[in-house]
């Protein structure tokens, strides 16, 4: 596998943080630090921050994304936002299936699949999150579970559409805990995901496919994680809210 053929993508997941005014400030602080990035740079923000973040990111190399979208185009779904609505406001990328949505908001593999479908239909790029809990890791079912999550989410997705999908491997036990997967653990599961892509779409598609690691990635550990052969980028929570730390991760991806 030749890592050089793949585009590294460093994406921030701001989660439920920042008001619109703070979003503007954060983008303004990050932009000069990442302007020479040799990778794609994305900031996924709360819905209410999207406009402010887009305005601040105009003319920079930062793409603004959302953190979720609904599976329907429109309808009686109080509190939800459709992929079409995001596309209409010029948002090009969306996180789907984050473990916090699975854990706290009843997201299942089936609803993740449906949301992926809707996002692709709206022309969006998807950052699809998969990953195991600590209990599942201890049971020794990580690889099978992640393979299954990937297969269900990608059901019906064409080879052409796959080019608009990135998978983020996020072990649930490493999210927000300060506990990072070792570089070997991260690479092993990213490799399993790449094998699933190869099975479903062939070796060329697998070789070109971007897979991120997420879970307590920070300025100190990013270089080692991003140097792994199957780790093509990162989905960053806490550190994406700190401009210098986020920029250090972007730098590590540029070099790795
Ligand atoms: P942390 O980087 O805060 O662990 O969060 C990772 C994450 O969930 C990104 O989506």
Q: Residue 96 and residue 68: Cα distance in Å, rounded?
A: 5
pLDDT in tens, the chain (256 residues): 578 789 899 999 999 999 999 999 999 999 999 999 999 999 999 999 999 999 999 999 999 999 999 999 999 999 999 999 999 999 999 999 999 999 999 999 999 999 999 999 999 999 999 999 999 999 999 999 999 999 999 999 999 999 999 999 999 999 988 788 899 999 999 999 999 999 999 999 999 999 999 999 999 999 999 999 999 999 999 999 999 999 999 999 998 7
pTM of the model: 0.97
Active site residue 113: no
From atom 1 of ligand 1, which residue's Cα is the shortest distance away?
237
CB neighbour class for 172 (10 Å; exposed up to 12, middle 13-18, buried from 19): buried
Task: Give 181's DSSP letter.
Answer: P
CA of residue 171 to ligand 1 center, whole Å: 10
C-beta neighbour count of 84 within 10 angstroms: 18
How many other C-beta atoms can be found within 10 angstroms of the C-beta atom of residue 118? Answer: 21
Q: What is the pLDDT of residue 1?
A: 58
Cα 152 from Cα 137, distance rounded (Å): 20
| Pocket-forming residues, ligand 1, beta carbon under 6 Å | 13, 98, 170, 175-176, 214-217, 235-239
Which of 107, 132, 170, 191 does the annotation list as catalytic?
Answer: 170
Domain layout of the chain by residue ranges: 9-255
Any residues with CB less than 8 A from the CB of 51 and at least 6 apart, and which?
20, 89
Nearest protein CA to atom 2 of ligand 1, as residue: 237
Q: HEC profile for 86-133?
A: HHHCCCCEEEECCHHHHHHCCCCHHHHHHHHHHHHHCCCEEEEEECCC
Radius of gyration of the chain (CA): 17
In the residue annotation, 170 being an active-site residue is answered as: yes
Nearest CA to ligand 1 atom 7: 237
Q: In the CATH hierarchy, which fold is given to the domain comprising 9-255?
A: TIM Barrel (3.20.20)
> Which pLDDT does position 255 carry in this prediction?
86
> 12, 15, 130: which to mutate for ligand 1, most atoms within 8 A of CB?
15
Q: Whole-angstrom Cα distance, residue 66 to residue 50?
A: 7
Residue 12's closest CA among 2, 22, 26? 26
Instruction: Check if the beta carbon of residue 72 is closer than 8 Å to that of residue 39.
Output: no
Phi/psi of residue 103, nearest 5 degrees: -75, -45
Query: Distance from the CA of 42 to the center of ligand 1, in angstroms?
Result: 14
**What is the per-residue pLDDT for 57?**
98
Q: How far is CA 52 from the centre of its chain?
A: 21
Could you identify the residue written with the tokens 């972007």? Answer: 250
- Give the SS3 label for residue 246: helix
Ligand 1 mean position to 75 CA, how many Å?
31
């Amino acid at each position: 596998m030749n890592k050089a053929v793949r585009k590294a993508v460093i994406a921030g997941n701001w989660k439920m943080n920042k008001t619109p005014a703070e979003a503007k400030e954060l983008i303004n602080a990050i932009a000069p630090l990442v302007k020479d990035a040799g990778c794609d740079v994305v900031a996924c923000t709360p819905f209410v921050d999207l406009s402010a973040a887009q305005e601040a990111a105009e003319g920079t190399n930062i793409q603004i994304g959302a953190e979720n979208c609904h599976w329907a185009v429109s309808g009686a779904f109080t509190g939800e936002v459709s992929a079409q609505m995001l596309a209409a406001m010029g948002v090009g990328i969306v996180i789907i299936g984050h473990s916090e949505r699975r854990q706290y908001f009843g997201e299942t593999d089936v609803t993740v699949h449906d949301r992926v479908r809707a996002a692709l239909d709206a022309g969006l790029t998807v950052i699809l999150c998969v990953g195991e809990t600590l209990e599942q890791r201890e049971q020794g079912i990580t690889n099978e579970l992640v393979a299954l999550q990937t297969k269900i989410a990608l059901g019906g997705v064409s080879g052409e559409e796959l080019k608009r999908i990135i998978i983020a491997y996020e072990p649930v036990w490493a999210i927000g805990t300060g506990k990072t997967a070792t570089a070997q653990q991260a690479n092993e599961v990213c490799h399993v995901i790449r094998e699933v892509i190869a099975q479903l779409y062939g070796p060329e598609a697998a070789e070109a496919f971007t897979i991120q690691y997420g879970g307590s990635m920070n300025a100190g550990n990013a270089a080692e994680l991003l140097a792994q052969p199957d780790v093509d980028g990162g989905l960053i929570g806490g550190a994406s809210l700190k401009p210098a730390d986020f920029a250090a991760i972007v730098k590590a991806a540029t070099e790795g």
